[in-house]
Amino acid sequence: GAVVSQHPSRVICKSGTSVKIECRSLDFQATTMFWYRQFPKKSLMLMATSNEGSKATYEQGVEKDKFLINHASLTLSTLTVTSAHPEDSSFYICSARDTNNYGYTFGSGTRLTVV
Amino acid sequence: RKEVEQDPGPFNVPEGATVAFNCTYSNSASQSFFWYRQDCRKEPKLLMSVYSSGNEDGRFTAQLNRASQYISLLIRDSKLSDSATYLCGCITGFQKLVFGTGTRLLVSP
């Protein structure tokens, strides 16, 4: 079945630094990938839609300059949390949409802790 | 109004019980619907897609009511291993998959 690899699985960083999270589709092409954030005991909130070769589309209330998304190839999207603050601590999950069968597969998530 | 709404629960049921969850969606143009299962601190895993005619997979039955804009999931003969959070997902315009808050299920011996 389709596999999406997300790295790192866990990261602790200092306030003010930037963190890059990678989402890679291993055995299929994904022109579209999605980035979600989930706070403890809360729902998965869609942050942005990442489109290969074009700018990402951000959901209302999500700062595009803070959460930089790059989708440079059909198998890789990256999310960079810039100038991270403790309130950015959360579980970030990506999802890739298979271009051929339109299925959505999730990465295993990245638990970010900003101290 | 949220695009997808669910009762967060928790639903506490004994083993062997039948339990049902509902989910409502606000966008009548939503195209596809899913139930995902999420275990604590893990990513969501697809449980089943929801088809207009209703569909069953073992102990799980999903139904879609487009007129009332709700989706349901029925779990029969609950197992301890069914304890998890069940997320209702809808594909809206622009092919975005959005979720409800999730419904937490606790199955006890």
A5-51 pLDDT, tens digit per residue, is 999 999 999 999 999 999 999 988 888 999 999 988 888 999 999 98
Smallest CA–CA distance from B5 into chain A, residue: A43
User: Beta strand pairing status for B103-108 and A4-7?
Assistant: unpaired
Enumerate residues 6+ apart whose C-beta is below 8 A from A60: none
Measure A70 CA to nearest chain B CA, in Å: 18
Query: Distance between CA B55 and CA B80 in Å, rounded?
Result: 23
Average pLDDT over residues B70-94: 94
Query: Distance between CA B101 and CA B87 in Å, rounded?
Result: 7
* Cα–Cα distance list, B89 to A27, A79, B44 (Å): 24, 23, 11
pLDDT band at B100 (very low <50, low <70, confident <90, very high): very high
Residue from A21, A41, A43 whose CB has the most chain B CBs within 10 Å, to mutate: A43
B22-31 pLDDT, tens digit each: 999 998 888 8
Tally: H helices and E strands in chain B: 0, 11
Q: Which residue of A46, A106, A107 is in closest CB contact with B96?
A: A46
Q: Which residue of B87, B97, B101 is in closest CB contact with A34?
A: B97
pLDDT for B94: 74
Chain B residue set in contact with A, beta carbons under 8 Å: 34, 41-46, 87, 94-102
Largest CA distance in chain A: 41
